[in-house]
């Protein structure tokens, strides 16, 4: 019959490994989300800057003046 103390020690180690694994992947996922959000913010800023740099497009008026 297995020693209950040995089983308890194995369970404790297993639980600690699971917690470490869970934390590691939570930290990695959080970093990936941060990087993704930074990229989205950069794209939005670049898009706004490009829109601001373009001159307005002239439109036709009812009397045909304009383009």
DSSP letter, residue 64:
S
Question: CA 11, CA 18: separation in Å to the nearest integer?
Answer: 10
What is the Cα 44 distance to its own chain's centre? 15
Mean pLDDT of 11-40: 96
Task: Provide the H-helix boundaries in 1-67.
Answer: 4-53
Give the three-class secondary structure for 2.
coil
Share of the chain above pLDDT 70, in %: 88
pLDDT value, residue 67: 56
């Amino acid at each position: 019959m297995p020693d209950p103390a040995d089983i308890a020690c194995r369970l404790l180690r297993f639980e600690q490994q699971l917690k470490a694994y869970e934390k590691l992947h939570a930290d990695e996922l959080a970093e990936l989300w941060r990087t993704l959000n930074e990229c989205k913010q950069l794209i939005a800023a670049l898009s706004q800057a490009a829109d601001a740099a373009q001159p307005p497009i002239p439109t036709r008026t009812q009397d045909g003046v304009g383009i």
